[in-house]
Structure 1
């Protein structure tokens, strides 16, 4: 075992973009070309969708729908940049994560706007209560009490998601500042490293932010069923799982040496590369699906019937005499 020599590139930094281009074989050229084409098409589809939304969608919904639609193409484009420029992977991943943090909040706002806005939502939902025993925080706690739908509870739901959009950007800027000073390294798992403290804290913020969105979805999934809110929510969750959980698993495997070193890529750099390539393909497919879901006529919801199916799902708020 002592006589085994390790290729120096397995311990070096990720290769430069020019090194990747010079070492591409025929399969590599085809792979990189196809993935780059997918990322470019995803962005073109998104731009075309933005034009459609700007022309056809009511003004109160334009911004939030454009933000939500951009999750997959933006992550795919950032992954393409990270694939071609491996040394920029940390920054492209941080950019994608910051964008998705905003999308989490925007998806909550989008559901409210689909109902008609805060005032219409409060008017339609005044008879009901919110079931807070849902994922990702309290899905195992069915005994939790239902919460009355008031301006205060709606504000707390918004705040729960908005804090992630704000704090994620703040911690990203802090991470970059610490990185320039040599204090932030994703591979540094020592207790004295900044990454071991920042990343778990951001993970907690993520879970807290996803909870209000899940609560609102559980309440409005019947009301918005004609607007395909269930597949929209599924696509939103899929982007979350693929961009966060999948990437985290691959990166952990790379740091543990499970993913082999293949010069000029170290084990960790190769893990990042595999993650970026998978994300480009996955985000391309999700972009096509979301285009079908959001490209529709945006008519106002019909008035709520007295025997709406939602009555069977929500708990009526007692009316005081």
Structure 2
């Protein structure tokens, strides 16, 4: 056999992700401009978020301050973590985990935000008590229109909150477990074998994510008309966009990198280059989302007008079956 016909792989494609100093020393003019611009975007996003927190602290009622600050922080926090992962590639797993943990809390906080915009639990139950919840929504049951409508009670409201809260609680728990297993050498995102811990932990976390997103979608479908004047539809769109970009987009890029679809460019292996591309895209995307969310949430937070008891009353909430 002619050995010249056997392709050889660059040794740099088999190495661990480079150190931060190695990246800095090997940056060309284009790389310097790219890294500088993306770092500037991440810094501006965080400054905008800090300024928004000051505005919220001064202008927003106490019952809404915390939830709005949490929801507003999704894009700038993910952008900042992505910037750290871009400069320190070996920390990418940890920065992604921190971003995912933060967003798991945002999922629950967005549900609470919609309830608080109505006036809180009691006001929501008073307004919506005569209506019913449509549970045939995504991401769980959008293909099941035959599911019955559910009465709005304290119990059903508690179950909706619990469905999202479990993700905010369990996601950090599984993140800590993953880090502990990683220090023991038994957690590796690239290890997709049946004996690897990642192949068991990640799908289970995915199931928890779907369960947590379902109550938020149910609540949004019910209140989208009531809260239309508060721009709840574009707010929900931004929340969904952060979810898609930070979770689905990152997962797709990482899968392509692990399969070798993304080419290796030393000192970055295919996987490391995939992570790098994901971080750089997220910085740009989260910067744009930060600017949009600032426009959406920077407003006067007056109480929502009382629902009018007229013939068109059912237009205020989701109609009953």
TM category, shorter: over 0.9
Does the 8 Å contact 2:222/2:317 carry over to 1? no
Q: Which runs of 5+ in 1 are unaligned?
A: 317-321
1:206-221 aligned within 5 A: 206-221=209-224
Distance 2:314 2:232 in 1: 16
2:105 alignment counterpart: 102
1:310 alignment counterpart: 315
Distance 2:5 2:17 in 1: 26
Residue 113 in structure 1 maps to residue 124 in structure 2: no
Distance 1:175 1:105 in 2: 22
Runs of 4+ in 1 over 6 A off after TM superposition: none
Distance 2:191 2:25 in 1: 31
Distance 2:226 2:265 in 1: 52
Distance 1:18 1:42 in 2: 25
1:33 to 8, 33, 36: 36
2:165 alignment counterpart: 162
Distance 2:289 2:168 in 1: 22
- How far is the alpha carbon of 1:90 from its aligned partner? 0.1
Residue 147 in structure 1 maps to residue 150 in structure 2: yes
1:244 alignment counterpart: 247
SS at match of 1:315: coil
Does the 8 Å contact 1:49/1:291 carry over to 2? yes
Per-residue CA deviation, residues 246-293 of structure 1 (Å, 9 max, x unaligned), is 000000000000000000000000000000000000000000000000
1:48-59 aligned within 5 A: 48-59=51-62
Q: Which runs of 5+ in 2 are unaligned?
A: none
Does the 8 Å contact 2:12/2:267 carry over to 1? yes
Residue 263 in structure 1 maps to residue 266 in structure 2: yes
Does the 8 Å contact 2:137/2:217 carry over to 1? yes
1:44 alignment counterpart: 47
Residue 127 in structure 1 maps to residue 119 in structure 2: no
2:141 alignment counterpart: 138
1:319 alignment counterpart: none
Change over 3 Å in CA distance of 1:220–1:5 after alignment to 2: same
Distance 2:69 2:26 in 1: 39
Residue 181 in structure 1 maps to residue 184 in structure 2: yes
2:66 alignment counterpart: 63
1:3 alignment counterpart: 6
Change over 3 Å in CA distance of 1:290–1:167 after alignment to 2: same
- How far is the alpha carbon of 1:313 from its aligned partner? 3.5
Q: What is the Cα-based RMSD across aligned positions, in Å?
A: 1.0
**Alignment coverage as a number of residue pairs:** 316
Does the 8 Å contact 1:160/1:209 carry over to 2? yes
- How far is the alpha carbon of 1:314 from its aligned partner? 1.9
1:272 alignment counterpart: 275
